[in-house]
A and B are shown apart, each in its own frame.
Chain A
Amino acid sequence: MIERIMIHRFRGIRQGHIDRLRKVNLLIGPNNSGKTALLELLYLSATCGRPAIFIRDDLLPDETGTLPARTALAHDFSGHPPFQRLRQRHGKRGEWQDNPATLTRERGIAVRLDLLKKDVRAPDVPWAEFRLEPPLPEWGEKDIYAFEQADLAQIALFSLPQPKALDASMIPATFAESGIQPGDAHWYYLWEPDWVYRWKLQHPLDRLAVWTTHGSMPDPARVMFYDTVAASSHLTTSFAQWAYNTVPDWHEHIAERMAEIFPSLKEATIEVTDAPDNQHGRTGYVRFRGQTPLGIDQFGDGARHAFKLIAHLVALAATVDESHPGMMLWEEPEVFQNPATLGRLLDVVVHLLKDKPIQVFITTQSLEVIAHLTRMLQHDILPPEQTLAFRLNLRDGVLRSSWFNRENLASWLESGLDPRVLEDIDAPLQFQLREEVHEDPSLC
């Protein structure tokens, strides 16, 4: 389980850290406070599972010149290439053309940092070039780790899992000041400039986003990122086939959970088959006895959203174990949901996650989500010792966080305080309206 993250120049975060991460983490805070950036950072970190060997020729023969590394998996749990998926979230539909990388003779990737976009005000890159070479296959095995041309548009980062040593040029000053040792953490280096904090470039390493995760990582193939993009897309064929073949009674489990969320679906069965109109991917069909099946995308957004979430989560929950722990990243559960449906959806999700080795990160802007989870904490449905809410705050690029445990949340909500708004702790709107009504003498 990831317990701590230190960040140097990732997206809008110039520097910062977040500690005390738990099994269930609720991320709250204003817009542009780093919630989504943190989800994306976690996603990139957790899907960094493809073995490689990091080589910096300029450091050889020092031991820091060659280190065991990882880079992005070709596909995440849902069947999407991780980096491309994130690019799409930010409106970059095409492939990444400007990666300063080429294939090596050994079918590795050589990355020329010195070819990154030049900016006269920016310092030089921290080092000119490095390689990610594939590990040698076992005798008689296919060379499964060799890189291909298509990978050049997909690979923008590598990780060094608990390296024995690191050259000083690879350690941001703030990390060094904090006393972190290389072997304490997994280290990540990302060179796509649009994902690197772009202002106040002072040091060569400022041209890269660098971060560390502390604690154990999930199985990279069991990392589920659920956002509105996922809600409005079909399931990938690879995921749907895998889930159907791997998860016993996958369709039946989805139907059961959907009926808990939408009682009107109680008598319905669910099948996942080809998307209509020759579209790529698979989608769900709801069938009532004696009636023509209805595509899930014919339903309202709330049902579509819930269906796709549940289809993924049922499969994730069924395939994790202590040796293969998972991670669920869920962006704004409240989107499209009526409060009553939202409550049932949260109940079902928490039920599916119960006792499963899945670390969960949820971002929300919704007081209803916070209140519902607080109630679950108060009733020990969510274990209080495994759950924290973090209120994020990003000022001048510095990420800060404040945590709320069960007692904090309950106390704040009972008093009409809003944990989303620390700066001006006025009562939430509904309480303010109530007070105004009560204070209006004409209504007394």
Chain B
Amino acid sequence: MKILVFAEGKTEEKVIERLKQFFPGFAFQTFDCKGKDKINSEIVTKLGPLVGQQPVRALILRDKDSGETIARIIQSVDNGLKGILKQRGINTSLQFQRVTGVWNAFVWDAPSIDFRLVIHIASRRSLSGLTKCTIDDLVLRLALNQNVAANLAQRQSLNVRGQVIIQKVTQEIPALLQRNGFPPLSEAKDYVRLYAAVLRMHTSPPVFAANVLASANNNLVQQNFASIIAAIRAL
């Protein structure tokens, strides 16, 4: 069975790449929709020709921006879904249901056309004061684990304890910036870039995510990404 993953960016692709080992027998293909606004058009164009022709399993990974609500995100995806079904002449009044035991994942299941779609909405902030909940929050939460930070430092041949890195990234540098009149960091991605700079990784957030995921053991990864794993299981 192949699971088609629709994501806002490339970081999700790295996350799925790491999580797929927990789903032997499943294949994953992740599409970078280049932002939330294009997710609907991507699911219409990619899934449309498949619907009703073969089993379809799709996962949408959404961030929750400031001002957005879970209900609005679901409504937006529901509109896209209805667009596909209308275009393909399929009538159904099915609704999204919460995935059992997960409060931020919702499943839409149409057994008659063998089509199941799950939305996972990133809903946890990695640090207080951030304005959005994003996939980068989940990555950053993992990176803020002392063992993971130490492993990352070791990968970069830096002789420094994990706690020190975390202290620099989450407290000392942001405080220094603020003392010098810079506005506070507001997104997990800001911290991710800061983290990468401190470790001299010279890399982008998606590659940082891949490094973080490679530096964490399976237990930690499963714990940290439990809601995404549950969302995949619902497919």
Residues of A within 8 A of B (CB): 391, 393, 400, 402-404, 407-408, 410-412, 415, 417, 419, 422-425
Contacts and interface: CB of A to CB of B under 8 A. Distances in A.
B25 to A, nearest CB: 14
A404 B54 contact: no
Give the size category of B's interface with A.
10 to 19
Interface of B: 2, 4, 29, 31, 41-42, 44-46, 48-50, 52-54
Contacts of A404: 49
A403 B84 CA distance: 12
Nearest to A390: B49
A411 B54 contact: no
Contacts of A425: 2, 4, 29, 50
Given A411-B42, A423-B54, A424-B2, A402 B49 contact: yes
B46 A417 contact: yes
Contact of B48 (A393, A408, A410, A415): A408
B91 to A, nearest CB: 16
B49 A391 contact: yes
Contacts of B54: 422-423
A79 B2 CA distance: 50
Nearest to A401: B53
A404 B50 CA distance: 10
Given A415-B31, A422-B49, A424-B2, 5 more contacts: A393-B53, A407-B41, A410-B45, A422-B53, A425-B2
Contacts of B31: 415
Nearest to B55: A423
B90 to A, nearest CB: 12
A400 B53 contact: yes
Contacts of B52: 402
A393 B54 CA distance: 10
A418 to B, nearest CB: 11
Nearest to A391: B49
A353 B52 CA distance: 33
B45 A419 contact: no
Contact of B46 (A391, A402, A403, A415): A415
Given A415-B31, A425-B2, A425-B29, A408 B45 contact: yes
Contacts of A403: 49
Contacts of B2: 424-425
Given A424-B2, A425-B2, A412 B50 contact: no
Contacts of A422: 49-50, 53-54
A415 B46 CA distance: 9
Contacts of B46: 408, 411-412, 415, 417
Contacts of B29: 425
B53 A407 contact: no
Closest 10 CB pairs of A and B: A411-B45, A402-B49, A402-B53, A407-B45, A408-B45, A404-B49, A408-B49, A408-B48, A411-B46, A415-B31
Contacts of A423: 54
Given A424-B2, A425-B2, A402 B45 contact: no
A386 to B, nearest CB: 17
Nearest to A389: B49
A403 B89 CA distance: 12
A407 B2 CA distance: 22
B30 to A, nearest CB: 10
A404 B49 CA distance: 6
A411 to B, nearest CB: 4
Nearest to B45: A411
Nearest to B44: A407
A296 B44 CA distance: 47
A295 B159 CA distance: 79
A422 B46 CA distance: 11
A404 B47 CA distance: 10
Contacts of B50: 402, 422, 425
A391 B49 CA distance: 8
B11 to A, nearest CB: 18
Contacts of A402: 49-50, 52-53
A425 B2 CA distance: 8
24 contacts: A391-B53, A393-B53, A400-B53, A402-B49, A402-B50, A402-B53, A404-B49, A407-B41, A407-B44, A408-B45, A408-B48, A408-B49, A410-B45, A412-B45, A412-B46, A415-B46, A419-B49, A422-B50, A422-B53, A422-B54, A425-B2, A425-B4, A425-B29, A425-B50
B112 to A, nearest CB: 15
A96 to B, nearest CB: 37
A411 B40 CA distance: 12
Contacts of B44: 407
A404 B53 CA distance: 13
A411 B46 CA distance: 7
Nearest to A423: B54
A420 B31 CA distance: 19
A21 to B, nearest CB: 15
A410 B44 CA distance: 12
Nearest to B46: A411
A424 B53 CA distance: 12
B186 to A, nearest CB: 32
A422 B44 CA distance: 15
